[in-house]
């Protein structure tokens, strides 16, 4: 016991004694700047301990930018985490002096060896480095939404719950590499909306992942239409667009400017899981088939262009009319998300992606490529904040407990003009007024 206590580096300062280490990391990773014989260093201006860890504020030397530090984020985090195990006085005080003491010390030693600190960088004229003593939880259970506000996750500080309020920010873009949690989040959003607003939520669903993700909602009363194939997605979007036009007329007839003023409680959610499949540039078949100058069969390109046109219109006009777009993609290149939709989406959420380019496609900025490889970890960004969240995991038991009471008897469905295929679209014309 005595030997171990001697070996331990007892820190007088408690948390937050990483500043020396940080200075060393800056020097070793080339972040200091040589100016003749002088070396300009990153100067610590302020250090503050919090219950979650420590915040350091630095003045960046001339010739360096915030991006230089961001590009070294991994090295900084690795450097902070290379350590000899430090047992602090507090750790030892918490131990019971009984016959299991050796086992307890071993456990503590192991825990200390594997525990990881996480860092976050930001800039407000000063470089801010936050060193979190403990990593964020990797699993968050689904929690309750509030009206049109749906659960997005918890943020690190004090495990605060974060919601996305569709009344405040109507359109939402989400992205991330495959298997990091997009579909799970979409399911969470849909389940929350159905639970909170069963009589007023209207769903227009496009699942271009072969129907595996959204088929659970096919027969519930809240689903207006659902499609599993790109060509039929056009009909879902056209249908939603027409509903939006009707709503516009209805609001106008009431002499009001928007659904809120008009006291109309319905809200329509057009949710597209894998919007990249609707990219006209990726279409294989690009030529319409014409007879006597009249198009008798539209090409895949034309169909996808029409889909994009409807999406853009809904994003442009839908906000005040209670129409919300949720677009998800895993692709990280080019104009996957129609430009107008992205411009009109003030909320973006991005799970981990492979490159800074992919991060820019969703967030218009870097960062998502630096997220740890943890399922459900994401950056949630609105006009006034950019935070890291751990999104809640929703189980199929929870989904079914919410949607099963709303399953309705399957009526004969109207299919498209084309012969139905094995998993053909189901457009349910529910005669919304």
Ligand X SMILES: Nc1ncnc2c1ncn2[C@@H]1O[C@H](COP(=O)(O)OP(=O)(O)OP(=O)(O)O)[C@@H](O)[C@H]1O
Query: Is residue 141 close enough to count as binding ligand X by CB under 6 A?
Result: no
- Interface with ligand X includes 393 (CB under 6 A)? yes
Which residue matches tokens 């590499």?
177
For residue 245, the minimal CB distance to ligand X (Å) is 32
The interface with ligand X within residues 208-237 (CB under 6 A) comprises 209
- 53 or 392: whose CB is closer to ligand X? 392
**Judged by CB, which is closer to ligand X: 206, or 262?**
206
Q: Closest Cα to residue 277, out of 318, 242, 312, 327?
A: 327
Residues 310, 245 contacting (CB under 8 angstroms): no
Closest contact distance (angstroms) between CB of 369 and ligand X is: 15
- The reply on whether position 176 binds ligand X by CB under 6 A is yes
Whose Cβ is closer to ligand X: residue 270's or residue 275's?
275
Determine how β-strand 289-291 pairs with β-strand 323-329: unpaired
Binding footprint of ligand X, residue count (CB under 6 A):
16
Which range binds ligand X by CB under 6 A, 33-41, 55-63, 340-348, 385-393?
385-393
Spatial distance between the Cα atoms of 171 and 168, rounded to a whole number of angstroms: 9
Give the DSSP H/E element, type plus range, for residue 130: strand 127-132
Our CB check for ligand X shows the closer of 199 and 396 to be 396
Q: Does 276 bind ligand X (CB under 6 A)?
A: no
Whether 341 contacts 327, CB under 8 Å: yes
Which residue has tokens 């800056």? 26
332 binds ligand X per the rule CB under 6 A: no
Query: Can you tell me which of 53, 55, 60, 184 binds ligand X, judged by CB under 6 A?
Result: 184
Which one of residues 181, 280, 338, 367 is an interface residue with ligand X (CB under 6 A)? Answer: 181
Please report, to the nearest 10 degrees, the dihedral formed by the alpha carbons of residues 218, 220, 222, 223 taken in order: 10
Please report how close the Cβ of residue 272 comes to ligand X at its closest, in angstroms: 13
Q: Which residues are annotated as a binding site?
A: 176-183
Q: Which stretch binds ligand X (CB under 6 A): 71-79, 182-190, 198-206, 425-433?
A: 182-190
Q: Which stretch binds ligand X (CB under 6 A): 125-133, 176-184, 331-339, 341-349?
A: 176-184
Which range, of 80-88, 242-250, 257-265, 387-395, touches ligand X by CB under 6 A?
387-395
List CB contacts of 26: < 8 A, sequence separation 6 or more. Answer: 32, 41, 42
- In angstroms, what is the minimal distance from the CB of 140 to ligand X? 7
Of 122, 192, 188, 167, nearest to 346 by C-alpha is: 167
Q: Are 175 and 328 in contact (CB under 8 A)?
A: yes
> Which of 53, 151, 230, 376 touches ligand X by CB under 6 A?
376
Q: Which two tokens stand for residue 169?
A: 């920010």
The number of C-alpha atoms within 13 Å of 45 and in the hemisphere containing its C-beta is 11
Smallest CA-to-CA distance from 324 within 394, 404, 259 is with 259
Residues 217/252, Cβ–Cβ less than 8 Å: no
What is the residue whose two structure tokens read 């003030």? 346
Quick one: which segment of 44-52, 95-103, 105-113, 178-186 binds ligand X (CB under 6 A)?
178-186
Report if residue 162 touches ligand X, rule: CB under 6 A: no
Q: One symbol per residue from 120 to 139: x for binding ligand X (CB under 6 A), - otherwise; what is it?
A: -------------------x
Q: Return d(Cα 402, Cα 380) in angstroms, integer.
A: 26
For ligand X, give the closer residue by CB, 139 or 254. 139
Q: Is 330 in the site for ligand X (CB under 6 A)?
A: yes
Residue 180 interacting with ligand X (CB under 6 A): yes
Residue 354 touches ligand X, criterion: CB under 6 A:
no
Residue of 42, 192, 359, 391 interacting with ligand X (CB under 6 A): 391
- SS3 of 9-62: the string is CCCCCCCCCCHHHHHHHHHHCCCCEEECCEEECCEEEEEEECCCEEEEEEECCC
375 binds ligand X (CB under 6 A): yes
Is residue 257 close enough to count as binding ligand X by CB under 6 A?
no
Q: Footprint of ligand X on this chain (CB under 6 A)? A: 139, 176, 178-184, 209, 330, 375-376, 391-393
């Amino acid at each position: 016991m005595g030997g171990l206590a001697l070996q331990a580096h007892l820190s007088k300062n408690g948390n937050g004694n990483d500043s020396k280490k940080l200075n060393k990391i800056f020097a070793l990773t080339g972040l200091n700047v040589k100016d003749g014989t002088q070396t300009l260093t990153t100067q610590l201006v302020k250090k503050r301990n919090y219950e979650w860890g420590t915040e350091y504020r630095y003045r960046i030397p001339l010739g360096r930018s915030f991006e230089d530090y961001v590009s070294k984020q991994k090295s900084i985090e690795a450097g902070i985490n290379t350590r000899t195990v430090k047992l602090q006085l507090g750790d030892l005080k918490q131990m019971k002096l009984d016959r299991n003491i050796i086992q307890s010390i071993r456990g503590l030693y192991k825990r200390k060896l594997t525990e990881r600190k996480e860092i976050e960088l930001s800039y407000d004229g000063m470089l801010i480095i936050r060193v979190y003593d403990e990593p964020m939880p990797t699993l968050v259970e689904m929690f309750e939404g509030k009206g049109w506000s749906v659960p997005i996750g918890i943020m690190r500080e004090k495990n605060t719950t974060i919601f996305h309020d569709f009344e405040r920010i109507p359109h939402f873009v989400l992205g991330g590499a495959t298997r990091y949690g997009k579909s799970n989040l979409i399911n969470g959003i849909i389940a929350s909306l159905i639970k909170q607003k069963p009589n007023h939520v209207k769903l227009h669903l496009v699942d271009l992942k072969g129907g595996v993700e959204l088929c659970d909602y096919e027969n519930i009363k809240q689903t207006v239409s659902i499609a599993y194939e790109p060509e039929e997605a056009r009909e879902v979007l056209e249908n939603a667009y027409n509903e939006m036009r009707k709503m516009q007329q209805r609001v106008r007839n009431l002499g009001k400017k928007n659904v809120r003023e008009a006291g109309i409680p319905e809200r329509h959610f057009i949710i597209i899981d894998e919007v990249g499949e609707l990219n006209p540039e990726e279409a294989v078949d690009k030529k319409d088939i014409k007879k006597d100058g009249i198009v008798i069969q539209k090409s895949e390109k034309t169909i996808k262009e029409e889909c994009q046109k409807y999406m853009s219109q809904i994003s442009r006009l839908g906000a005040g009319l209670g129409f919300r777009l949720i677009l998800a993609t895993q692709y990280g290149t080019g104009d996957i998300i129609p430009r107008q939709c992205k411009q009109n989406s003030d909320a973006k959420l991005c799970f981990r992606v492979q490159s800074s380019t992919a991060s820019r496609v969703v967030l218009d900025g870097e960062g998502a490529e630096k997220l740890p490889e943890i399922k459900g970890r994401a950056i949630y960004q609105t006009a006034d904040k950019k935070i890291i969240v751990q999104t809640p995991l929703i189980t199929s038991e929870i989904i079914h407990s919410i949607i099963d009471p709303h399953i309705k008897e399957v009526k004969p469905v109207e299919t498209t003009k084309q012969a139905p295929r094995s998993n053909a679209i189901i457009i349910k014309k529910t005669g919304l007024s």
